[in-house]
Structure 1
Amino acid sequence: MEASSLAVPAVYGLITFLAYSSQWLFLYLEPHPLSKKQLIRFNVLLICLLISYTQSVVVDPGHVPKVAGQETEESDGKFSGKFRQRWCRKCKATKPPRSHHCKECKRCIPKMDHHCPWTSNCVSHTTFPHFLRFLFYATTSMIYLASFLWARCKVVWDDRDLPSYLGPNIFQLAHLFLLSVTNFVTLFAVGILFIRNIWCLAANTTTIEGWEIERHKTLVRRARYFGGYLDGPDGVKVRIQRQEFPYDIGIWKNFKQGMGTGNTLAWFWPLATTPSIESGLEFETNDLEEPGLQWPPPDPDRINRRVPHGFDRGEEAFTYRNAELTPRETIAAFRRRQEADIVRRRKPFVQRVESQVARGESTGVEGAFDECEDLQGSGAGSASGEESWKNSEGERLRDFGVDEDVEFYDEDDLPLGELLARKRMQAEVRAQ
């Protein structure tokens, strides 16, 4: 049994421990058991909490249908970044804006925020309102519980000089202590997560897009020392210009879009309707940039190589290795090479700059070393390339549940077969 399969039962167990064992304990502790009004308020909050959490667990995070898109524009060996087509190799479908391929759900998720281990589900366009309600009711319930615990802890402390038989027994004291510590630690963690999600909702960003924004700022800073361009694969020069995040359309509209409705009462209703998947395929933009620019901005390390391995290495292009393998082993080895060839990792930026210095190509390099404070965290082992870049919080794309191989290397190129199929479809439409 995987540990992830125990996450949801563990959360239900934690809620039960904090919410219901505390009510039982309060029957035996001073100053008095909970009043009827306190019990009603507390249990209403708990019902809302349980419903919201269950919704976060069971609601489908959505899927991305096969949709047509715009095509890549390329000229003079320089990649402009306009009309880039995002393509998911594993789903074999185009990717609408803000969607990402989740390695846990095994599919592309509309407006994916992250894959939450505590709900065993993706926080996405459809599940975000339920997830935020869960955080709200969890935070509110624990604050209310903390007020009950504080009152009883205060009584125990004030009566600390009385004989022990006049107060709670050792098991009740241990129970009270464990409840207080668990509630405080959980409230601290969930409270921070709730505040962060409120901020993301107000700015209309996801945690993945926060990573992309920081990545883009790093690329702009790097390009400043190389004439506004960074090297892409196969000698392609990628122009890096500062680009504003396009989906921040104002706080009120951001809240309406994120919560799926402008009805503020529905924001707090645990049985509120789930946003439709179709509404998560296209998003209003703020038009701060010229039409045609897409998010995320161009990234030279996220562009596939056009030249297959071997053709750029004459000494290895036509050599046959492992001649002693059996036919079955040969086929298996070919498939491994084929799979490895799909993802062509580039070395971390700092290693590429060091290579330029070694070759004497040092123009602007010193400034790049001085300015790019992220360099020391750009590699995570010999098997990792630039996809191992981390933001200021030490997070990689995979930390959000994203499939890095799909997101980082193979999302911008439409396969030739897909282009031909679209061309045939367009011809058939014209013929009709």
Structure 2
Amino acid sequence: MSTLSQLAVPFVYGLIFFLGYPSQWMLMHLEPEPLTKNELIASNVILVLIWITYTKSVFVDPGTVPKDWAEKELRDEKEGDAVAKSRKWCRKCDAAKPPRAHHCKECKRCIPKMDHHCPWTANCVSHTTFPHFLRFLFYTTIGLSILEAFLFTRLAHLWSNRDLPSYLGPSFLQLAHLFTTLIANSITLFVLGILFLRNIWCLSVNTTTIEGWEIERHKTLLRRARHFGGYLSTPDGSQIRIKRQEFPYDIGIFANIAQGMGSSNPLNWLNPFAATPSLASGLSFETNDFEDASTTWPPPDPDRSYRRRVKEEGPAFTYRDAELSKEDTLAAFRARQAEDEMRRRKPFVERMEAVRDTGGDDYEYDHMDDASEEAEDEGRKYGEGDEGEEGWRNSEGERLKDFGVDEDAEFYDEQEDHIPLSELMARRQVAAASASEGWSMSGSTY
């Protein structure tokens, strides 16, 4: 963890203290009148709620995926359940990755239903921490709005009496304190207010910040595939069918909120002492059945496809490393292995230009000029460069790494056909054992 991230949490605690307590002393000495008893009570109650919810956002564990969760999922699986299944394997954790989980580059592990890694809490906003984080945003927005109203009342009074002699007004230190508090409070309220509204929207449609990025990425791929007959090429040159896929986790507004807040009781949504959602409830999620049960989220992305080994030019057996030492030979092998697994694709703009230069013989393409202009616009807007398609940015200029996601683990998490053989055999044994138990129980009923 960097020094800057280590200072983030103490800075936020200091900002809460600065905006919460010295401002009360200042407002008690400024005209037109000091704060009333009820205003002081309301301000301090909100301040206590902010302290509690922020502390929970910082110190509640974002969750760790159990190593044996996939086996338990197979044992508990029932036919007809509309529940998302895992199709991913995280090589860095060496474990199956649950639906909606992502590998956090800061926490160094897969986080269940990861929303993003928040630098201001030095913690992941996840299935277990999201309710505390949203309550913190809610109470902070209320508290900052109340303080903003108090400050503007005093500022309006000062403006209306600006013609009076200075000795009848506040001192220079009081004025400096007033304007410093006003600037800090206004900026913080603006930023947190927008963040709160965005999270409310995400909660109502049951999407995380990362999934919002994935939805926009999917729309971009659909738009590109339209010009190539519905197909896009993978790093090894094969074709993937890109078709529209609905987001599977939007199950209705109330159900979405109940799932995100960990309770169907509206009183618990605002309760700062509400229980943290269980980790088990963040390993599988109900789906809306708009898509076939075999589909997964995120939708297929050619740039996330695992590169197959291709035939190299030259003789079948070579001695290219014969002159190297044992350590250098191993290093060269690992470099070739990494290059084979994580080949960076050219940006879409360059690939479009290559197709146009060759006449586009491999594609059924009727709108080359329009698509090329669109690709160039996207390349300039989203900053695609030498990093390839992994460097794609959404409309706000964000990459997955900006949310704390480990991009190497995310883009090259292995699909079901690359899960280790030992893991597949273990799953088959669990499924067979579950099936035999089911037969024995059904036979005992006769």
Amino acid in the other structure paired with 1:415: P
Task: Identify which range, 290-299 or 318-327, moves more after superposition.
Answer: 318-327
SS at match of 2:21: helix
Aligned to 1:415: 420
1:385 aligns with 2:384: no
**TM-score for the superposition, normalised by structure 1:** 0.90
For 1:76-91, list aligned pairs within 5 A: 85-91=87-93
Aligned to 2:443: none
**Aligned partners of 1:23 and 1:256: how far apart in 2?**
37
Aligned to 2:397: 394
Task: Identify which range, 189-198 or 161-170, moves more after superposition.
Answer: 161-170
Q: Deviations over 1:30-51 (max 9, x none)?
A: 1222221111100000000110
**Aligned partners of 2:211 and 2:392: how far apart in 1?**
15
- Structure 2 CA distance for partners of 1:367 and 1:83, relative to 1, 3 Å: farther
**Aligned partners of 2:160 and 2:374: how far apart in 1?**
57
Say if 1:260 and 1:275, in contact at 8 Å, map to a contact too.
yes
Aligned to 1:403: 406
1:305 aligns with 2:307: yes
1:353 aligns with 2:356: no
1:119 aligns with 2:118: no
Aligned to 1:77: none
The count of residues paired between Structure 1 and Structure 2 equals: 418
Task: Identify which range, 25-34 or 354-363, moves more after superposition.
Answer: 354-363
Amino acid in the other structure paired with 2:406: D
Q: Deviations over 1:324-347 (max 9, x none)?
A: 654434434444443444322222
SS at match of 2:110: strand
| Identical-pair percentage | 61
Q: Which runs of 5+ in 1 are unaligned?
A: 72-81
Task: Identify which range, 107-116 or 407-416, moves more after superposition.
Answer: 407-416
Aligned to 2:440: none
Say if 2:92 and 2:409, in contact at 8 Å, map to a contact too.
yes
SS at match of 1:234: coil
**Aligned partners of 2:161 and 2:53: how far apart in 1?**
40
**Aligned partners of 1:197 and 1:316: how far apart in 2?**
57
**TM-score for the superposition, normalised by structure 2:** 0.87
Say if 1:379 and 1:385, in contact at 8 Å, map to a contact too.
no
Say if 2:117 and 2:404, in contact at 8 Å, map to a contact too.
yes
Say if 1:344 and 1:409, in contact at 8 Å, map to a contact too.
no
- Structure 2 CA distance for partners of 1:317 and 1:355, relative to 1, 3 Å: farther
For 1:10-89, list aligned pairs within 5 A: 10-66=11-67, 67-68=69-70, 85-89=87-91
**Aligned partners of 1:417 and 1:379: how far apart in 2?**
41
Task: Identify which range, 387-396 or 410-419, moves more after superposition.
Answer: 410-419
Q: Deviations over 1:237-275 (max 9, x none)?
A: 211111111111111111111111111111111111000
108, 115, 128: which one aligns with 1:106 = 108
- Structure 2 CA distance for partners of 1:144 and 1:402, relative to 1, 3 Å: same
Aligned to 1:74: none
Say if 1:45 and 1:137, in contact at 8 Å, map to a contact too.
yes
Q: Deviations over 1:223-248 (max 9, x none)?
A: 11211221124343211111111111
Q: Which runs of 5+ in 2 are unaligned?
A: 75-83, 438-446
Aligned to 1:375: 379
RMSD across aligned positions (CA): 2.5
**Aligned partners of 1:243 and 1:351: how far apart in 2?**
27
Amino acid in the other structure paired with 2:378: D
Q: Deviations over 1:161-208 (max 9, x none)?
A: 222222111111001000011111110010000000001011111111
